[in-house]
Amino acid sequence: MKTEKVGQRIRTFMEKQEMSVDVLSERTGLDVGFINNVVEDDVYPSLGPLLKIAKALDVRLGTFLDDQISKDPLVVRREERKEELSMLRGKDKPVALKFYSLGSGKSDRHMEPFYVELLPESEKSKDLSSHEGEEFIVVYSGQVEVTYGTESYVLEAGDSIYYNSIVPHYVSCKGAQAASIYAVLYIPS
């Protein structure tokens, strides 16, 4: 069972490296106030900034999500899946995305697999983000809108999309109904 929140884990790695918020801001290109919100309030608008923080701290994204227990093969039963991370637009705003890690427990992984619930809040403000790597998404339920650069794609259950995540992108539900996806992120070392 996880005892630390993601923000606490980031703070722990910053302390180990004697890295200030200002230095982390400089290395990631993220605003100091934003980093403080992430570290102090566990606020996350998208995976892009979290990936930039992981890269600046020279750790993989999964380091913030799991307890470093390596299992091979790793089997995650549907009823055992646990919410690892919720994306918020701000401290007192509703949850936009709920991420369930499907790789937590395998510390030597090179991909980050997730089951993601996209709530109607996700459609309100589409802040594109980019990071190194690739993403593969399969829509499980509902309608999903993927903004990729200047293009927009509406996907239905069973549809998939595979893209280079260096191009600014955003994934949300389409309309007032929640949607869900399976997503795999590959982040080069």
Shared-domain flag, residues 88 and 177: yes
CA-to-CA distance for 102 and 109, rounded, in angstroms? 11
In a domain, 70, yes or no: no
Q: Where residue 128 sits, what CATH number does that domain have? A: 2.60.120.10
* Cut 0.75: pTM above it: no
In a domain, 92, yes or no: yes
In a domain, 71, yes or no: no
Out of 42, 64, 86, a domain closes at: 64
pLDDT, one tens digit per residue, over 99-111 is: 888 888 777 788 8
Shared-domain flag, residues 99 and 49: no
pLDDT, one tens digit per residue, over 81-99 is: 776 666 655 566 678 888 8
Shared-domain flag, residues 150 and 122: yes
Domain that holds residue 165: 78-186
Q: Where residue 17 sits, what CATH number does that domain have? A: 1.10.260.40
CA proximity to 120, closest of 83, 157, 172: 172
Give me the number of domains the chain comprises. Answer: 2
Looking at 8-17, 53-62, 141-150, which range is the least confident one? 53-62
Which three-class secondary structure state does DSSP give residue 188? coil
CA-to-CA distance for 76 and 69, rounded, in angstroms? 14
